[in-house]
Amino acid sequence: MPDSCRVTAWRPPVPGISEIFHARIVGYRYPRHCHDTWTVLIVDAGALRYDLDTRHHGAAGAAVSVLPPGVVHDGYPAERHGGFRKRNLYLDAGFLPADLVGPAVDGSTLFDPELRAALSRLHDRLADPDLLDVETRLAMIADRLRRHLERRGAADLEPEPALAERLRAYLDEHVTEKVVLADAARLFGRTVPHLVRSFRRRFGVSPYAYVTGARIELARKRLLAGEPAADVAVRTGFYDQAHLTRHFRRHVSVPPARYAASRQR
């Protein structure tokens, strides 16, 4: 790889994500290779070409590329651009069903601006991940990818209002704890995307937004009772005072300290 190429890679503490890979590629062609993960990539500048098995594909602009595990491919800049800047998610082999490998080979390039925007926001979040937030976003991305790649299957299950109510009770019970949707999915015998879809249809918000709002309500009560903001943050499920402050300001318009001081008036 020439010196003109730049790569940043890391493994976030998020179940299902094997690696995050950001790269600027100029004057370089990847040799034919394969991964044991699903690869979901977006191109931020330039254009990328690749041969997946015997099919020729490309990615640029609003396109999203999905490369299945175990399938040989290469990668190189489109001739008129000479380079590209991309962001890859390497996702565990179980991220999508194995029977979608064939459809992904045939239709690797998806033109879906909303999906691309969701992936871009997810990458932004992964710089400092909040597990429940990232897990929710990843589940919705998986659901949308399934809808592109399959005509029938789990993604076509109708949202279940009763399941949404059960999930809400579960979230309420664990609101100040580390909430992992994969645990709830195992408990209820459903997939995470189906849980998220059912919850959003029933309540109009994602599980992450619901839990964050519930934690803010608890924090408001504790702050008005005179508890220090640092203690309130830990006792209401936030990582630390800075994490509480970021969300509190967004929900209430002022930071926790100013909100707490208002009780004296």
For the chain, percent of residues with pLDDT exceeding 90: 35
pLDDT band at 81 (very low <50, low <70, confident <90, very high): low
Measured in degrees and rounded to the nearest 5, phi and psi for residue 183 equal -65, -45
Residues 168-185 have pLDDT tens digits of 999 999 999 988 888 888
Q: What is the pLDDT of residue 122?
A: 94
Q: What is the pLDDT of residue 153?
A: 40
CB 178 within 8 A of CB 215: no
Residues 15-71 have pLDDT tens digits of 889 999 999 988 888 888 888 999 999 999 998 888 888 788 888 888 999 999 988
Cα separation, 50 vs 68, in Å, equals 13
DSSP string spanning 127-195?
TS--HHHHHHHHHHHHHHHHHHH-SSSGGGSPP-HHHHHHHHHHHHHTTTS---HHHHHHHHTS-HHHH
Residue 200: CB atoms within 10 Å: 18
CB 119 within 8 A of CB 63: no
Mean pLDDT over all residues of the chain? Answer: 87
The answer on pLDDT for 148 being more than 50 is yes
Q: What is the pLDDT of residue 154?
A: 42
H-helix or E-strand spanning residue 259: helix 256-261
Q: What is the pLDDT of residue 123?
A: 94
CB 71 within 8 A of CB 38: no
Counting Cα atoms < 13 Å in the Cβ hemisphere of 101 gives 14
DSSP string spanning 65-121?
EEE-TT--EEEEE-TTT-EEEEEEEEE-GGGS-GGGHHHHHHT-EEE-HHHHHHHHH
Kindly state the average pLDDT of the residues 159-175.
Answer: 92
Q: What is the pLDDT of residue 19?
A: 93
